[in-house]
Amino acid sequence: MNRNFVYLGPLACGALLIGAITASGHNGATGTVGERMMGMMMLSEQIKALAPVADVPTPSDAETVIAAAEMIAMHAGPAMTDLFPEGSIEAPSEARPEIWERWEDFSAYAERLGALGEELGVAGEDLLRRQSSDPVAAVTSPPPPPLSEWERMDFAWLMGLSAERESVVNQITTASVDVKSAAGSKQSVRPVGAIYSDIAATCSSCHASFRR
Amino acid sequence: MNRIAAILVTILVMASLGVLTLQLWPLPPQRPINEVQGDAKRGAYLARLSGCLTCHTSSGSKPLSGGAPLVSRFGSFYAPNITPDQENGIGSWSFDQFVRAVRQGISPSGEPYYPAFPYEFYATLTDQDMADLWAAIQATPPAAAPSTEHQVPFPFNVRSGIKLWRTFFEKPVTYVPNITRSAAWNRGRYLVWGPAHCAACHTPRNPVGGLPSDQALSGDPSMQDGQQSPPLTAQALTARGYTKQALIQALRTGVTPDGDAFGGSMAEVVHGSTKFLLNQHLDDMATYLLNLDDN
């Protein structure tokens, strides 16, 4: 038997396996649909990576936050909308035709995701700065919030009459500022938890409008 | 000729009798209510938990000034303006009328509400809950937006026909604590089957929209809006990767264990309701849904 043929079997099996793994990764989708489904999977991986650290990130989580932020920003905005040529809804795509009927809304979600990704990067850099400027604080657990969770809620916030309380709640949760400084000064860097929450809400709103 | 006339008269008499019967068909009497002092903030929390704000507020409009259409096989239902506006809201209602509307699904004029309004689940709300909700509504700024009429075709637009439906299909939820389970599990069950009304979407309804008899959140493959809802049994949730922490996270942020973000009506539920809840209550709901026990 020719030696080349001895390797042909395992090579063919390997090629088939790689093909199967690639196809199963995005439900058999190919071309533009496959590419964007892989992009969505990549985004969900970033969300998964952020989930355990978003609420109370420590400076040691800075690199995770920055890496996720870069990937989110890179795959949002035009990088995302370019992968939605009109009418590309063939199976297994979950896209709805409303995307092209309300293209401005769809693009706005993609842009918003990009902006949030960039903002998350800034918050990550802020964590990194704290790690290098105060290594003692970096390993100290955050102080307990001064108010109970119930006390931090108010009528106006619960009824949707004011969004201010939410920002204070998140700032306290991440222990990046105390109540007084949150109320008295405008913070330039929003906490990771608040940005993560907005990213999740943006994805949900887009899915609710444009995904089957 | 006389025979045709006799048939027509018979049909007319039968139809009149049918209408009269429906008009006179009795509805449950008002349940007694204890007078208690309401707390507006607690009421606002209950309004989030119960989905009042989600359904009665359309995007970009004032809180509780009327909701987006709830599309179903029977037509489109619009949650009305329930701000304290005298003309367009419920400013002219009494507390007793409000309680009967929410817990029993009967309007101040004695008309039954469509079960699109989940009063079957709100039947578990206590007198204190009702007083708190009432206080929250009184403290909400009135909105002059008129309510939108339901767009429901015949025969479903015959409001008195709902009385018949109620007789055969209404299943008001009752809450009896299970003393063999932990307080957290029992609170979770109360929240899931009561105010949070998860079963409204996560149980298979019968062809006329009635809830099943058993308390099993087995999902609905054919929801009223044409979508599907997944099962919320402990086994199904675990199979989808939900741990207690992951379920709390999903209800808080809308992010699932695989990093996806909820779409569909669940996105509205999370971002209009569950993200506002106390950690303890999300913990309770997860404890019940995953059938965990702290005992």
Check CB contact of B20 with chain A, cutoff 8 Å: no
Residue B56 lies in a domain: yes
- Closest residue, chain A, to B247 (C-alpha): A51
B196 shares its domain with B276: yes
B142 shares its domain with B193: no
Select from B112, B137, B169 the last residue of a domain. Answer: B169
What pLDDT shows up at residue B111? 93
B276 chain-A contacts, CB cut-off 8 A = 153, 158
- Peptide bond before residue B84 is cis, with ω within 30 degrees of 0: no
Q: Cα(B159)–Cα(B114) distance, rounded to whole angstroms? A: 8
B120 shares its domain with B165: yes
B44 shares its domain with B164: yes
Q: Cα(B103)–Cα(B50) distance, rounded to whole angstroms? A: 12
Residue B17 lies in a domain: no
Name the band, by pLDDT with cuts 50, 70 and 90, for residue A11: very low
A133 CA to chain B: closest CA distance, Å? 32
For the four alpha carbons of B60, B61, B67 and B71, in that order, the dihedral sign comes to: negative
Query: pLDDT tens digits, residue range B205-262?
Result: 888 888 888 878 999 988 888 888 999 999 999 999 999 999 999 999 999 999 999 9
B267 chain-A contacts, CB cut-off 8 A = 204-205, 207-208
Residue B263 lies in a domain: yes
B139 shares its domain with B194: no
Chain A residues with CB under 8 Å of a chain B CB are 43-48, 51, 149-150, 153-155, 158-161, 196-197, 200-201, 203-208, 211
A132 CA to chain B: closest CA distance, Å? 30
Question: What is the Cβ-side half-sphere exposure of residue B144, based on CA atoms within 13 angstroms?
Answer: 0
Tell me which residue of B138, B109, B140 sits closest to B23, measured CA to CA. B109
When mean pLDDT is compared over A176-185, B24-33, B117-126, the highest value belongs to: B117-126
Residue B252 lies in a domain: yes
What pLDDT shows up at residue A17? 38
Select from B116, B147, B169 the last residue of a domain. Answer: B169
**Parent domain of B196:** 183-289
B165 shares its domain with B187: no
Residue B98 lies in a domain: yes
Residue B146 lies in a domain: yes
Residues 134-193 of B with CB under 8 A from A: 136, 139-141
B198 shares its domain with B154: no
3-state secondary structure of A211: strand
Residue B72 lies in a domain: yes
Total of domains in chain B:
2
Query: pLDDT tens digits, residue range A79-97?
Result: 999 999 998 888 888 899 9
3-state secondary structure of A188: coil
Is B260 close to A159, i.e. CB distance below 8 A?
no
Check CB contact of B22 with chain A, cutoff 8 Å: no
B217 shares its domain with B106: no
> Does residue B43 or residue B6 have the better pLDDT?
B43
Query: Best interface-test mutation with B: which of A43, A158, A199, A212 has the largest number of B CBs within 10 A?
Result: A158
Check CB contact of B54 with chain A, cutoff 8 Å: no
Residue B58 lies in a domain: yes
Q: Cα(B144)–Cα(B153) distance, rounded to whole angstroms? A: 27
CB-CB: which of B41, B63, B262 is closest to A204? Answer: B262
Name the band, by pLDDT with cuts 50, 70 and 90, for residue A137: low
CA angle B147, B149, B152 (to 5 degrees): 150
Check CB contact of B42 with chain A, cutoff 8 Å: no
B162 shares its domain with B202: no
A96 CA to chain B: closest CA distance, Å? 12
B124 shares its domain with B212: no
CB-CB: which of B254, B260, B279 is closest to A44? Answer: B260
Select from B135, B169, B203 the last residue of a domain. Answer: B169
Name the band, by pLDDT with cuts 50, 70 and 90, for residue A191: very high
Tally C-beta pairs within 8 A across A and B. Answer: 83
B136 chain-A contacts, CB cut-off 8 A = 155, 159
Name the band, by pLDDT with cuts 50, 70 and 90, for residue A136: low
B76 shares its domain with B106: yes
Write a three-state SS string for chain B: CHHHHHHHHHHHHHHHHHHHHHHHCCCCCCCCCCCCCCCHHHHHHHHHHCCHHHHHECCCCCCCCECCEEEECCEEEECCCCCCCCCCCCCCCCHHHHHHHHHHCECCCCCECCCCCCHHHHCCCCHHHHHHHHHHHHCCCCCCCCCCCCECCCCCCCCCHHHHHHHHHCCCCCCCCCCCCCHHHHHHHHHHHCCCCCHHHHCCCCCCCCCCCCCCCCCECCCCCCCCECCCCHHHHHHCCCCHHHHHHHHHHCECCCCCECCHHHHHHHHHCHHHCCHHHHHHHHHHHCCCCCC
Lowest-confidence region among A12-16, A121-125, A188-192: A12-16
Reported ipTM: the value is 0.90
B102 shares its domain with B206: no
B53 chain-A contacts, CB cut-off 8 A = 159-160
